[in-house]
Chain A
Amino acid sequence: MEYAWLIPVAPLLAFVIVGFFGNKTKEGGGAIALGSVLIAFVLSILVSYEYFVTSGLFDSGEAYAPAPFQWLVFGDYALNFGIYIDSLTCVMLLFSSFISLMIFLYSIGYMKGEGARKRRYYAEIALFLGAMLGLILSSNYLEMFIFWELMGVCSYLLIGFWSYKHPEGDAASEAAASAAKKAFLVTRLGDVCMMAGLFVLLFAFKSLDFTTLFDPAEIANVDSGMIILGSLLLFGGVIGKSAQFPLQDWLPDAMAGPTTVSALIHAATMVKAGVYLVARSYPLFIQSADVMLVVAVIGGVTAFIAATMALNNMSLKRVLAYSTVSQLGLMIMALGAGGYVIAMTAGDYHASLGYTAGVFHMMNHAFFKALLFMCAGSVIHAVASEDLRQMGGLSRKMRITSATMFIGALSIAGFPFFSGFWSKDLVFESVMNPYASGLPAGDIFLFLFALALITAFMTAFYMFRMWYMTFKGKPKEAAEHCHGESPKTMTVPLIILSLFAVGSGFLLFVGLNDIITFSVIGGEFMVGGNGKTAEYLFWHVLENKWTYVSLALSLSGIFLAYLMYSRRIINPARFNMGGRSGLYRFLTARYYFPQLYDQISLKLGYGVAKGVDYVDKNLIDGTVDGISNAISGSSDTMRKMQTGNVRNYAAIVIIGTMVLVAVLFILVRFGGV
């Protein structure tokens, strides 16, 4: 574990090498980037193995946190750089580096035609991966924030990757540049909140190290109001990064980037950083039940509204994007509900179900959503379009892609025993928990639970609507151009990931049940250990009546999609009245969120800026010019002096200075002394 710092360093080094010399190497640096992620993955396995097995740290429930390096010390404050490894770190490291490995491999095929611009792409994704792994290993909030922002920049650059020349034409190029800016600014709003949170916590604790902040003795010494304020501000960062309501709208636009980027950054890793931050900050967040209630409500609302927006979207990638937002909402909601229960329970608390559900769903979602995006990428690669209306009938031409995407869709819909099934039902149950235990805000959680059930129905529906429109039915114009299945570098990762989409849920029963847990024991916080037994969890899910309700809803969602888009028994147009329905237009307009953002930035940004510019030109500068004109205009002599000859001015100025100095000297010499 002493070498854990090498995990982010490997891709960062690749970034430097590819950035400067990429064009001289194979695949524009692709091979180097792939090598670096392989190193990171292998190191992650070794580090995790050491943490869980050989070091004995896991058994004693401790985190590996060596003395950090002092980065910046000022006043009473110390900011450090270090690594912090616990069970959560290991889980995050493993799935992030593994999925990145798959996506980098896939990129080799996907980016083949990009020519010299591949260098930029590989450099940027390597930088991104370095930042993501750095964030996971960070030992304090400032370090996290630094990597957090670096990821934001990579996201910005990669969304805008095709802004110069988009495969779909000029309009798409402009859209990419605009989407990149939007993503950067909207997440920046969250980041500024998070930065304010850092100030609050730094002021309160005089440090941002996890070892200090998660120490119950330190927490007891700090004013609880500061912790609540700090937690809420940190959560502001989560809302931006993980695209939660009301800052969710940047993510669908971010689909303007290459599909690999959408899979890696906007589905599997970066947007998970917010969920990770909530899980990581549990010791602080659970100090207040209200904070956790806010977290849960934001998550629930996001899950619901994002799912509704996916219902009638016609873009393959955007459906997936809304689905990502919606699923992120589920994770946040589960974490909030779990934290709420702990916060309301005085004393010891073993293995929070909400925590396990949220983190577990995050991991499963990373697998099946990366898979779905890569399948979408494979389709787009083949038909050069994202419009669902132009596809159809592709399953015959692209067997592997259609089969793996079907698996991904089943998994996200929560089909029994696929990975999504297990984690989603845990999420539902954890949201039900506060109501079932009769806690004060139980009614709110009951409402959230209802939202979650409807979301599950909608998820199943829109995923299969998308799948049927893409792969079944009569081939439309774009689908006719399809030249068959994608190359091996693309299909092999699909097959590997589809295995995980089927099976990763079972990891819960072979160890994860004891790894992704959060407990409070004797006032101390503990990540990992004390988990419920695999047997308990297994039967718990199967015996719960709500499991069958959500299952029924999912299956009916799939069936409805089948009737509407495959058998065409129900005409979809009946629901939207040929596009004239108010609800339909409301959803298509994404609840008018883009307009809201535009209006706010127009009024608060550009509008005020115009005013300031006017004041500057007329009022302030006008006064300055006015004074100088009044002086120079008052006398003919002065006017003559405006000879325009620079040397004259200089002479006047110098002589003037000297005279002034001389006068003052004389005054001082004979007057003062």
Chain B
Amino acid sequence: MDFLSSLSIPSLPILPLLLILPILGAVFCFLIKNDRRHTRHMAILFSGVTLALSLLLLYDISSRGYVESESYAWINTAYLQMNLDIGVDGMSMLMVLLTALLVLMVAIFSDTESERSNSFFALIMATQAGLMGVYLAQDYFLFFIFWEVALIPMFFLIAGWGGPRRHYASMKFLIYTHVASMIMLIGIFMLVITAADGGVLNFSFEAVKAASAAGLFTTTFQVVVFGLLFFGFAVKMPLVPFHTWLPDAHVEAPTAGSVLLAGVMLKMGSYAIIRICLEVLPEGAIAWQTVMIVLALVAILYGAYACIAQKDLKKMVAFSSISHMGFVLLGIATLSGIGIQFAIFQMFAHGLITSVLFMVCGIVGHNTGTRDIPLLGGLAGKMPIFAGFMMFGFLASLGLPGLIGFVAEFGVLMAFFDYLMGIDVLWPIVFALASLMLTAGYFTWAMQRSIFGKETTKIDMSNVHDVNRREGVALGLLCALIALFGIMPWLIMDVLAEMPLVLLGVV
């Protein structure tokens, strides 16, 4: 620790570096010789440094209530204020860490994209730049730009390296989420214009928040704008019935794309609901609370049921994301401190767990040539290490105590129960609890049919090999983290301790 403090961290402009490094990484990856190993190493180097910097930032701000921000003048006129305001608090810190971690894991994991590997890794780094920007932005304009920046490279990843129906899936992904972005943009403009109240148009989060605190947003206004923004974010999360872009995008996307998409991109939606909807539109949130709870329960159950019916392993995992993101919304919708804390916890937990699941799906598809559950069977014989990872991931996802998913689920459900006791209506918790059964059901059923039992004869298993080293490293690290945070959840809770208090001062 002496060593760390002697570095005099504040002198290092970590926040802007977190944005610049991925952009530089993208440029370098794109420019160097098109060689698989070189580009991958380049990507690992850049994402590794980014991760190290985010950890340094975490350490640096741990003594200061996990808040840090910096501002650089950009568009700074008498009429318009759009500055490069960037900063973190507990929630965005966790998302920044998750982004940096998953990009590194993806860079370690991916080696199968032999052709155009420089573009592939450049796009991954560009996605990271967009994601980092979304989580760091403290200015609505900046936020929106990065929101779109994250979208485009992902579109190209799916369209360029995806499966057979990649064109349909990528277009659907792009158009669907883009329409949502446009509606969200209208909401943002309404916020900023109303907040300006005829004065300077200031896009910074702070100015809008101050306007909200000053009571410039009437209840009707809040309800309308909450609806617009919420729709934009709900598509991203995604909530039923705005979810159909997700299974298609996942099924066609390359593994790296799926991991980033489900691991961090979906969280943009829930992050923005907390950051924008709850923070500046508290009355809107109260008005929409029942709708949010219903949507959350629908997503949880609908996603879980859809999983049972899936034959494609990856599609099943995609639907399980919908179900688990429903838990995030459920936590948010309680509008209580613990609900929001555990919603963020669940975002982080789901990011780690779902990455393992998508990597596992990627390995199955690559090594056996199919992800069709009825064709698989008895994989544990030829692929014991793989089976171990798959089982670990599935058990983590179904909320096994001792792993991170349990803490998140337990907390969200406890917050929901707490809320229900407050309004003296208990039965809705039954739906949430039923989903725990369904989740256990589809995961164990999938395991029974794919890795247990006797070895399948429906596909050629003679050349199937187990997890290789780079896959093992990425999966092993993720699994270790899932167990670590499951046993020591306070590591995350400490970061979030102050967060909801700040929020609830407004709500």
* B193 and A649 contacting across the interface, CB-CB below 8 Å: no
8 Å CB contacts to A: which residues of B391-421? 391, 395, 400-402, 406-407, 410-411, 413-415, 417-418, 421
In whole angstroms, how far apart are the Cα atoms of A165 and B381 in the complex?
9
Contact of B445 among A181, A189, A195, A196 (CB under 8 A): A181
- A572-615 vs B, CB cutoff 8 Å, 1 = contact: the mask equals 00000000000000000000000000000100011011111100
B171 adjacent to chain A (CB < 8 Å): yes
Given contacts A177-B448, A199-B413, A612-B305, contact A620 B241 (CB under 8 A): yes
8 Å CB contacts to A: which residues of B371-407? 378, 380-381, 391, 395, 400-402, 406-407
In whole angstroms, how far apart are the Cα atoms of A653 and B243 in the complex?
21
* B437 and A71 contacting across the interface, CB-CB below 8 Å: no
A438 adjacent to chain B (CB < 8 Å): no
In whole angstroms, how far apart are the Cα atoms of A23 and B155 in the complex?
46
User: Distance (Å) between the CB of A21 and the closest chain B CB?
Assistant: 15
* Segment among B28-36, B86-94, B174-182, B462-470 that sits at the interface with chain A: B174-182
User: Distance (Å) between the CB of A207 and the closest chain B CB?
Assistant: 13
Given contacts A146-B401, A177-B453, A610-B309, contact A188 B182 (CB under 8 A): no
With most chain B CB atoms within 10 A of its CB, the pick from A177, A178, A650, A660 is: A177
Chain A: CB-nearest residue to B338 = A75
User: Distance (Å) between the CB of A196 and the closest chain B CB?
Assistant: 6
B189 adjacent to chain A (CB < 8 Å): yes
* B401 and A149 contacting across the interface, CB-CB below 8 Å: yes
A contact patch SS: helix
Q: Which residues of B lie under 8 Å from residue A611 when comparing CB positions?
A: 305
Q: Which residues of B lie under 8 Å from residue A624 when comparing CB positions?
A: 172, 176, 244-245
Q: Which residues of B lie under 8 Å from residue A668 when comparing CB positions?
A: 189, 193, 201
* B308 and A606 contacting across the interface, CB-CB below 8 Å: yes
In whole angstroms, how far apart are the Cα atoms of A373 and B418 in the complex?
46
In whole angstroms, how far apart are the Cα atoms of A315 and B4 in the complex?
66
Chain A: CB-nearest residue to B80 = A669
* B436 and A188 contacting across the interface, CB-CB below 8 Å: yes
Contact of A72 among B240, B381, B407 (CB under 8 A): B407
Q: Which residues of B lie under 8 Å from residue A446 when comparing CB positions?
A: none
8 Å CB contacts to B: which residues of A102-152? 145-147, 149-150
In whole angstroms, how far apart are the Cα atoms of A160 and B453 in the complex?
9
Q: Which residues of B lie under 8 Å from residue A664 when comparing CB positions?
A: 185, 189
- A157-193 vs B, CB cutoff 8 Å, 1 = contact: the mask equals 1001001110000100110111011001100110010
A346 adjacent to chain B (CB < 8 Å): no
A646 adjacent to chain B (CB < 8 Å): yes
In whole angstroms, how far apart are the Cα atoms of A157 and B451 in the complex?
12
Chain A: CB-nearest residue to B193 = A672
Given contacts A620-B244, A649-B171, contact A192 B417 (CB under 8 A): no
User: Distance (Å) between the CB of B348 and the closest chain A CB?
Assistant: 15
- B238-250 vs A, CB cutoff 8 Å, 1 = contact: the mask equals 0011011100000
Contact of B167 among A163, A644, A654 (CB under 8 A): A644
A417 adjacent to chain B (CB < 8 Å): no
With most chain B CB atoms within 10 A of its CB, the pick from A176, A192, A628 is: A192
Q: Which residues of B lie under 8 Å from residue A149 when comparing CB positions?
A: 400-402, 406
Contact of A202 among B240, B241, B414 (CB under 8 A): B414
A215 adjacent to chain B (CB < 8 Å): no
* A71 and B489 contacting across the interface, CB-CB below 8 Å: yes
* A150 and B401 contacting across the interface, CB-CB below 8 Å: yes
In whole angstroms, how far apart are the Cα atoms of A164 and B400 in the complex?
23
Contact of A628 among B175, B338, B436, B441 (CB under 8 A): B175
* B244 and A616 contacting across the interface, CB-CB below 8 Å: yes
User: Distance (Å) between the CB of B51 and the closest chain A CB?
Assistant: 26
- A605-647 vs B, CB cutoff 8 Å, 1 = contact: the mask equals 1101111110010001100100010000000000000001010
Q: Which residues of A lie under 8 Å from residue B244 when comparing CB positions?
A: 616, 620-621, 624
With most chain A CB atoms within 10 A of its CB, the pick from B148, B395, B411, B453 is: B453
A73 adjacent to chain B (CB < 8 Å): yes
A219 adjacent to chain B (CB < 8 Å): no
Given contacts A177-B452, A609-B306, A612-B309, contact A74 B338 (CB under 8 A): yes
Q: Which residues of A lie under 8 Å from residue B196 when comparing CB positions?
A: 672-673
Chain A: CB-nearest residue to B453 = A177
Contact of A181 among B159, B400, B448 (CB under 8 A): B448
In whole angstroms, how far apart are the Cα atoms of A176 and B410 in the complex?
31
Please report the total number of A residues contacting B with Cβ < 8 Å: 66
In whole angstroms, how far apart are the Cα atoms of A146 and B406 in the complex?
9
B198 adjacent to chain A (CB < 8 Å): yes
- B297-326 vs A, CB cutoff 8 Å, 1 = contact: the mask equals 000001001111110000000000000000
With most chain A CB atoms within 10 A of its CB, the pick from B241, B243, B337 is: B241
Chain A: CB-nearest residue to B430 = A196
Chain A: CB-nearest residue to B494 = A73
In whole angstroms, how far apart are the Cα atoms of A153 and B80 in the complex?
59
* B155 and A650 contacting across the interface, CB-CB below 8 Å: yes
* B410 and A660 contacting across the interface, CB-CB below 8 Å: no
B49 adjacent to chain A (CB < 8 Å): no
With most chain A CB atoms within 10 A of its CB, the pick from B411, B445, B452 is: B452
A77 adjacent to chain B (CB < 8 Å): yes
B152 adjacent to chain A (CB < 8 Å): yes
B493 adjacent to chain A (CB < 8 Å): yes
Given contacts A170-B454, A609-B306, contact A74 B401 (CB under 8 A): no
- B265-285 vs A, CB cutoff 8 Å, 1 = contact: the mask equals 000000000000000000000
Q: Which residues of A lie under 8 Å from residue B493 when comparing CB positions?
A: 72-74
A657 adjacent to chain B (CB < 8 Å): yes
Chain B: CB-nearest residue to A148 = B401
* A160 and B452 contacting across the interface, CB-CB below 8 Å: yes
In whole angstroms, how far apart are the Cα atoms of A646 and B175 in the complex?
13
User: Distance (Å) between the CB of A618 and the closest chain B CB?
Assistant: 11
B212 adjacent to chain A (CB < 8 Å): no
In whole angstroms, how far apart are the Cα atoms of A61 and B176 in the complex?
67
B170 adjacent to chain A (CB < 8 Å): yes
- A61-74 vs B, CB cutoff 8 Å, 1 = contact: the mask equals 00000000011111
A203 adjacent to chain B (CB < 8 Å): yes
Q: Which residues of A lie under 8 Å from residue B295 when comparing CB positions?
A: none
User: Distance (Å) between the CB of B20 and the closest chain A CB?
Assistant: 22
* B433 and A673 contacting across the interface, CB-CB below 8 Å: no
In whole angstroms, how far apart are the Cα atoms of A184 and B400 in the complex?
12
Nearest 3 CB-CB pairings of A with B: A609-B308, A613-B309, A177-B452
A-B pairs with beta carbons under 8 Å apart, 10 shown: A72-B489, A74-B338, A75-B338, A184-B440, A185-B440, A203-B414, A620-B243, A653-B178, A669-B80, A672-B196
What would 16 more interface pairs be, CB under 8 Å, given A181-B444, A181-B445, A661-B185?
A72-B493, A153-B395, A173-B453, A181-B448, A185-B437, A202-B414, A203-B421, A606-B308, A613-B309, A624-B176, A646-B167, A650-B156, A653-B152, A654-B152, A657-B178, A660-B185
